Chains A and B, each alone.
Chain A
């Protein structure tokens, strides 16, 4: 074995024996560095004869290539092993529980959600949203709605009043959202197509009544709208709102001062303990009142009842929300108990749309 071969064998053994990148660098410097063993051999080439340089030079360069490749290969292995070793030591506890994101923790109150649902449905039918103040005049809340002074129907409303003013007039908290209809009719020429959602007040408190509640009323005034249209709208609404294929509805004659003819509407349902199913069963559940706008109301709002006609309806938002989402006690809606709100509330990204569904 020549010296060169011996040297190469020794270097390769040193490479194989190198256990880390520092060791392999030492071997590289020892062999290929400025003062390295192979570099020393290469530096002898200048002194050789051309023939000798040809043969020796090729042999030395071959040895250099072999050593270089071995170094590279060994270095790659060691580098990879070192990375593996480092990674193996770098662990985290992936089971640590996360915080819910804020958007998962926040809640929209079911009443807000249901108001958004109502808006979505009626917007699709071409209705606008009208609103008005909670503090109203007797005129807008009663008189223009055909409640004569002292009429017992006024007493059905258990009105909250403010103290009389110097001129004897006294303001009140609206007992229904109908004053918004009055305000709309007084300021807007027919055709009118609005819904009026809002907060209303009556001095009544038990399991099914709170002194404050929410209503949505609808109003249509034009030259041809009749009870057949009203029935259709309410039917479409109930199907859309309760998200069922069919709802059986029963329209009964009734009485409200501001409509004539007046109707009350029941929907068919089946009740099991906490759950209500619509479109089946043999219970009837009253959900709303409606009718053709009374000619006296139209007149009081400067609309000629012989030219224009229309209908109105009203229902309790709290009530239909409770029915749809299975909330048992009305009072809990206003208690702000976070346990209740977390359970019955909606996440902020659950925005009702017709395309994506109202509640899904």
Chain B
């Protein structure tokens, strides 16, 4: 919402300086976004006259002018404007002047060998409208030497308010002035509006077919007007806020839109055929509107029609055919009330952002429908003459009365400020409310223009914003005697620990989009219709991600393309398996590309290795351990999800029913579908699927048992089929005596020379921890024999000689 200071002063008697008014506006909730003060910016520019203009000796298009600036000797100025000619009165900028549009400060210059002592200016250079090819042309009688901005009456600053959608009353200058007056910034000018007596009945009949779309409609004819350019004061008002004057009748409607938040429409009565019907548009009807565009309508759109068909988009924009021109003699003035929601929907659907829509979708003051019509009639008669008909009114010309029972203690209860009753009354009355009673509960009547005020809290806000939010005292908010317990939930803790665990392994955390392209989602089991956005912002951000990996892979590829190919990335975040809350999970995923093994990144003298599938396994295990998973219970099953290499991937599960996640090398087909260069090692685990640990009653750890006897370690090497899983060998050995055997590790795996092609050698070290006495050689041998027998039984392995 834009308005100039002088316009404000039409409605507010004030001597307060601009800055103070602007600050106050912001502090009462009408945030000033921008102040354009031409007088301040253009102060150094003065009026000057060109005495002579000669051809520049070295440049065809330049002229060397002698310029009378009204101060001392004429100055020499080089000018390139085609209209720089002797006798022209124009605008001059002396050296040292800042030129706003060009963002530089001019100095004495030398232009192609000729000195130039300043600059003659175009309107564009001063950021004024009405720009044309050359420098500004002023009337010959403009006073040379005088300040241009002052002479041209540019001294009217324009304020722009970032209006919140609740304040429909402040879509007009009148409403803004009322708020400022309540905040002690001056006296509100609110003279009554006189009725203009109709001289004859309005000859046009009006029918409203659907009162829900049009609760009220008023119309009046003014006959015998003489339309033409509007007077200077009106044009200045409109141009000050960037509106283009058109003709007096149209300008009057635009003026009242901004002055009184009352949009109106004028029809050229000669172009309206028959009676007027307010109705739903028929599917496929079209209208060429005043913006020159043709709109195709449907039955949800509310229109004003006559026997020709649609003449106007109700509350949004008039039609070109029935618009007023300089030739208009009889004018129909319409002032109506429209359904806010319908206006908003229609405006959005048709893509029209008009000043009328802006107001009607917020809701206009219903009680001002008729006064607005009277005001418009008076302006039409003042500016264009003519004789008015009587008003036709269909429906309501007023809104519902709203009276709120207001306990005055609410102000203290919600806003913590002590406001005396008289002050509350003063504020409310200034804002147009009425307050009856002396407490503790008073009755407050809400003015018709404040459709945003419904309850007690709204009245507290009115009082608080005028008293000043700075008066609300900062009050310490004690945490009370609530115990200091951990506040993070299980999944929040897991998320945190997973992130730090992966970063501690050298991976870098990325945050990628929650939505990805449908083809990418499909590779990872997503792409279901219920997870596809109806209105995606881009085709590649269309489907909720079923996995974090597509986003990470895209990032990895982008980094590779930038020349950073050795990388380890991770993300911990939400993934979507369905659209219900319980279908959303927190996943942790990571990937490694290039020389990014667990041992370190990039080429290095200490050893460089490409990342392998088991690096991804190590990452997955680090996350699971940090997140509190029961590591002993995890099972690794060969093979993984379809997006993984079938022979170089594994599934991490606790029984077949609870799959925690997968690790391995990306499947070449998945890479191709994602447009990524492989090989890529990846893992993804679902943190929600980790079983909850048992809650213990005490924080004390279980008693530590220290054995007095030395542990014994024995090595065994088995020749097994290549397909045998080392995990099975370990499990077989460990299972022989769970009490005695405290550890089994694989310290060597060998395939190749000396071993049959389809075999491999797996060497394990078994640690036995005696608890009651030192083991005898016989006992150790007996245990070893059992281990060999068990491994042989479970895996077919033969002890290597």
Contacts and interface: CB of A to CB of B under 8 A. Distances in A.
B509 A135 contact: no
B537 A336 contact: no
A42 interface: no
Interface string B460-479: 11001100011011111101
Nearest to B569: A336
A335 to B, nearest CB: 7
A335 B558 contact: yes
B26 interface: yes
A351 B500 contact: yes
A16 interface: no
B477 A199 contact: no
Contacts, number: 250
B710 to A, nearest CB: 33
B600 interface: yes
B469 A253 contact: yes
A5 interface: no
A282 B541 CA distance: 40
Contacts of A255: 29, 164-167, 452
Contacts of B27: 252-253
Interface string A115-131: 01001000101111101
B415 A227 contact: yes
Bin chain A's interface residue count: 35 or more
A178 to B, nearest CB: 16
Identify the interface centre among B461, B512, B555: most chain A CB within 10 Å of its CB: B461
Interface string A231-262: 11101000000000000000111110000111
B212 interface: no
Interface in A201-224: 201, 203-205, 211-212, 220
User: Chain A contact residues: over half helix, strand or loop, or mixed?
Assistant: mixed
Contact of A253 (B464, B511, B558): B464
Nearest to B573: A199
Contact of B414 (A205, A309, A336, A347): A309
B505 interface: yes
Interface string B569-584: 1001110100111001
Contacts of B606: 99
B555 A336 contact: yes
B611 to A, nearest CB: 13
Interface in A175-201: 199, 201
Contacts of B348: 155
B457 interface: yes
Contact of B341 (A149, A203, A211, A309): A149
Contact of B509 (A228, A292, A345): A345
A72 to B, nearest CB: 38
Interface string A316-360: 000000000000000001111111011001011101000000000
B569 A338 contact: yes
B559 A336 contact: yes
B496 A116 contact: yes
Contact of A348 (B503, B531, B534): B503
Given A251-B472, A260-B458, A161 B344 contact: no
Nearest to A255: B164
Nearest to B342: A150
Interface residues of B, number: 98
Interface stretch (A22-30, A104-112, A268-276): A104-112
Interface string A124-163: 0111110111110000000000000111110110001111
B200 interface: no
B364 interface: no
A35 interface: no
User: Chain B contact residues: over half helix, strand or loop, or mixed?
Assistant: mixed
B354 to A, nearest CB: 14
A87 interface: no
A292 B416 CA distance: 11
B413 A226 contact: yes
Contact of A295 (B341, B457, B477, B532): B457
B512 A228 contact: no
B482 A126 contact: yes
A173 to B, nearest CB: 7
Contacts of B496: 116
B474 A235 contact: yes
B544 interface: yes
Identify the interface centre among A119, A131, A261, A345: most chain B CB within 10 Å of its CB: A261
A96 interface: yes
Nearest to B469: A251
B71 to A, nearest CB: 36
B604 interface: yes
Nearest to B605: A96
Given A96-B605, A253-B461, A338-B564, A347 B503 contact: yes
Nearest to A153: B165
A54 interface: no
Contact of A212 (B26, B503, B513, B572): B513
Contacts of A251: 469-470, 472
A102 B500 CA distance: 12
B558 A337 contact: yes
Contacts of B580: 133, 135
A209 B517 CA distance: 20
Contact of B165 (A156, A170, A341): A156
B413 A309 contact: yes
B500 A348 contact: yes
Interface stretch (B231-239, B441-449, B487-495, B644-652): B487-495
B601 A99 contact: yes
A1 interface: no
B457 A292 contact: yes
Nearest to B358: A152
B457 A294 contact: yes
Contacts of B31: 252, 254, 264
B579 A295 contact: no
Given A105-B601, A155-B348, A338 B470 contact: no
A231 B472 contact: yes
A260 B460 CA distance: 8
A127 B487 contact: yes
Interface string B554-573: 11101100101001010011
A67 interface: no
Contacts of A163: 529-530, 532, 534
A143 to B, nearest CB: 14
Interface in A69-126: 96, 99, 102-103, 105-109, 111-112, 116, 119, 123, 125-126
B345 interface: yes
A11 B659 CA distance: 83
Contacts of B201: none
A161 B509 CA distance: 29
Contacts of A337: 555, 558-559, 562
A142 B325 CA distance: 45
Interface in A50-74: none
B535 interface: yes
Nearest to B556: A336
A116 B488 CA distance: 11
A218 to B, nearest CB: 11
A172 B272 CA distance: 45
Chain A to chain B: the 3 pairs with minimum beta-carbon distance, closest first? A336-B555, A253-B29, A150-B341
20 contacts: A99-B606, A103-B503, A106-B508, A107-B503, A108-B500, A109-B509, A109-B510, A116-B496, A134-B514, A135-B579, A149-B341, A162-B579, A228-B472, A229-B476, A253-B28, A254-B29, A260-B458, A261-B464, A262-B461, A334-B511
Interface of A: 96, 99, 102-103, 105-109, 111-112, 116, 119, 123, 125-129, 131-135, 149-153, 155-156, 160-164, 170-171, 173, 199, 201, 203-205, 211-212, 220, 225-229, 231-233, 235, 251-255, 260-264, 292, 294-296, 305, 309, 333-339, 341-342, 345, 347-349, 351
Given A106-B502, A228-B416, A349-B504, 14 more contacts: A102-B506, A105-B506, A106-B505, A128-B487, A129-B489, A131-B489, A133-B581, A134-B514, A134-B574, A162-B532, A199-B514, A254-B164, A338-B567, A341-B510
